[in-house]
Amino acid sequence: MALVLCFPQLKVGRETMIDNRTFGSFIREKRIEKGLRQRELADILYVSESAISKWETGKSYPDITMIPSICKALDVSEKELIEGANDTESRVMKKEARKYRIISDSWFWGLAIFYGIALLVCIICDLAINHRLSFSIIVFTSLLVAFSFAPTFTRFFENHKFAIFLGTTYLSLCLLFIVCCIMYRQSWCWVASFAVLLGYAVLFLPFLLKRYIPEEKKGFNVLLYFASLLVLLLLLLVVIRGYVQYPLVKAVLISLYCFIPFLFLSAIHLLKLPRLIKASLDVLVFGVVYYGIEAVIARIFGEGAAQYYTFDLTDWKYFANGNIMILYLIATISVAVVLASVYFLHWMEKEERL
């Protein structure tokens, strides 16, 4: 780009070099804006004062090797130097960027100082009252959790900010749970940590899969999502079993049964089927699976399920549960049939046109 300065009126792409006088006037204008005399600018650029004078009067151009130094001294871009005019749009963007950085810095350091003062006050009070660090340790981890959410640790990283935000907030919460359990001699921290991890997965795993799974494998995102949730749920059940006595195998069986429609939905979406057919199958499977959930639970626990399925649409006083269940099943099957019928009607019309 700087090469054109040696050749008046030389074209580079769509840009045309300005003439000597315009270039010289621009140099002079920017030198004055910076509050520099010709001698001072000459000293910065390690040239003679007469060379600066010749540039400004249009009698000569600077050597191309001096372009970066001139741009830095006059605080202009190479594009502005070539065109002999201010790049207003670029300068506005830079100004807005500087303003944003100032606001961001103020927000970050303001909150950091506030958290630091709060922690210092708590430590002083703790030492004055208990003569040792006790509740101030919990306060410290609590402030660490607050800091991880706002202003966050992502400021110290250039890439993967969302993943880092999730990781730092989750780890800070786990640290808080562990500190609380140690301080109060309890052991629920692992259950809380796995429960929060499951919650994070439910909310944020789709975004992480979309961001990090290669494009050619994105069709598996739904399956990976529900499979991951199932694994995390089963791990949570196992962890809870270490603290509370309950029938783990039965809980696992019920969880597996409840995930059948979600895993089926994931598998269906991997197949190249029409959307209406996929929707019809999804509705049908969801309807049938959740219609039978009471029977499955009763079977697992060795109880009867007749009271949930016996129906009489003329008697809602004694058969309300059964009536609701049968109407639910009829509604889901009807919706599935309608969706499939709409597809086949469209398909038949298309075949007739051909």
Residue-level pLDDT at 18: 53
pLDDT over threshold 70, residue 88:
no
pTM for this prediction: 0.70
Please report, for the chain, the start and end positions of each structural domain, with discontinuous segments joined by +. 2-86, 87-186, 271-354
Residue-level pLDDT at 90: 62
Both structure tokens of 83: 């065109």
For 115-157, what is each residue's pLDDT tens digit?
999 999 999 999 999 888 889 999 999 999 999 998 788 888 8
Q: Do residues 156 and 167 lie in contact, with contact meaning Cβ atoms separated by under 8 Å?
A: no
Residue-level pLDDT at 86: 59
- Of 152, 235, 252, the closest CA to residue 201 belongs to 235
Which segment, 28-42, 102-116, 198-212, is predicted with the most confidence on average?
Answer: 198-212
Q: Do residues 123 and 132 lie in contact, with contact meaning Cβ atoms separated by under 8 Å?
A: no
Average pLDDT, the chain: 86
Helices and strands (H and E) in the chain: how many: 15, 2
Exposure string for 166-188, b = 16+ CB within 10 A, e = fewer: bebbbebbbbbbebbeeeeeeee
Q: How confident is the model at residue 228 (pLDDT cuts 50, 70, 90)?
A: very high
Residue-level pLDDT at 141: 95
Q: Do residues 261 and 288 lie in contact, with contact meaning Cβ atoms separated by under 8 Å?
A: no
Provide the residue count of the chain.
354
Mean pLDDT, range 96-105, rounded to an integer: 82
Residue-level pLDDT at 96: 76
Residue-level pLDDT at 229: 96
**Distance in angstroms (rounded) separating the CA atoms of residues 338 and 323:** 22
**Distance in angstroms (rounded) separating the CA atoms of residues 197 and 113:** 30
pLDDT over threshold 70, residue 335:
yes
Query: Per DSSP, what are the bridge partners of residue 12?
Result: 15
Residue-level pLDDT at 87: 54
**Residue that wins the pLDDT comparison between 36 and 10:** 36
**Distance in angstroms (rounded) separating the CA atoms of residues 224 and 201:** 11
Residue-level pLDDT at 302: 85
Q: How confident is the model at residue 11 (pLDDT cuts 50, 70, 90)?
A: very low
Residue-level pLDDT at 256: 94
**Distance in angstroms (rounded) separating the CA atoms of residues 289 and 261:** 7
pLDDT over threshold 90, residue 175:
yes
Residue-level pLDDT at 146: 93
Mean pLDDT, range 230-250, rounded to an integer: 93
Residue-level pLDDT at 9: 43
Residue-level pLDDT at 8: 44
**Distance in angstroms (rounded) separating the CA atoms of residues 151 and 100:** 15
For 307-332, what is each residue's pLDDT tens digit?
788 899 999 988 998 999 999 999 99
For 263-298, what is each residue's pLDDT tens digit?
988 888 888 889 999 999 999 999 999 999 989 998
pLDDT over threshold 90, residue 77:
no
Mean pLDDT, range 21-26, rounded to an integer: 78
pLDDT over threshold 60, residue 180:
yes
Residue-level pLDDT at 55: 84
DSSP string, 229-264: HHHHHHHHHHHHHTTS---HHHHHHHHHHHHHHHHH
Strands (E), the chain: 11-12, 15-16
**Distance in angstroms (rounded) separating the CA atoms of residues 28 and 38:** 9
Q: Which CATH superfamily is domain 2-86 in?
A: lambda repressor-like DNA-binding domains (1.10.260.40)
For 205-220, what is each residue's pLDDT tens digit?
999 999 999 888 888 8
- Residue 287: exposed, middle, or buried by beta-carbon count in 10 A (0-12, 13-18, 19+)? buried
**Distance in angstroms (rounded) separating the CA atoms of residues 116 and 286:** 52
**Distance in angstroms (rounded) separating the CA atoms of residues 316 and 324:** 9
Percent of the chain exceeding pLDDT 70 equals: 90
pLDDT over threshold 50, residue 15:
no
